Structure 1
Amino acid sequence: MSDVDATFSAHTPMMQQYLRIKADHPETLVFYRMGDFYELFFDDARKAHRLLDITLTTRGSSAGEPVVMAGVPVHAVESYLARLLKCGESVAVA
């Protein structure tokens, strides 16, 4: 098992997938589709909260730590993405 796999193995499968995407795009805000919402986690959630004035919360835990998250509804995501791009941010949608 590689060091990266060992690091991710303590997380849920969903969070492992998110963390792998984030590892490939560390300077990009990653919007991760969860049902009817796009969610951002950890530092991305904090940054989106600051820039978009969206609610910052925690949900459950992963690897024993609370998961900091923020989200936007799927039907409204384009307006949020446009605002971030206007601020000069890079975004990825997964």
Structure 2
Amino acid sequence: MEIELLSEIVDYGILGLLAFMSFLTLFFWIERLLFYRGVKVESYSTQEALELDITNNLSIISSFGANAPYIGLLGTVLGIIITFYTLGQTGE
């Protein structure tokens, strides 16, 4: 496999994955915001039911936020590996 093709796959793959995660995070954030604006606390019979509805989809947002830096770091590491490989092949 050509190193230029591998380099483009890594670049666009990591950026695409981060963009996809950002889009999903924004989507779930807007969904939660709209839900919070329309929640009627008095319509819930128990506190547990209210807590379940309020915390729905927050784990998705937090897991994307926690893992995005690691995906960016993966892209950096793969970019450095490709750069060193290219330098080793050209002999400069």
Per the normalisation by structure 1, the TM-score is 0.25
Larger Rg belongs to:
2
More helix by share: 2
Higher RCO (Cα < 8 Å, 6 or more apart):
2
More strand by share: 1
Per the normalisation by structure 2, the TM-score is 0.26
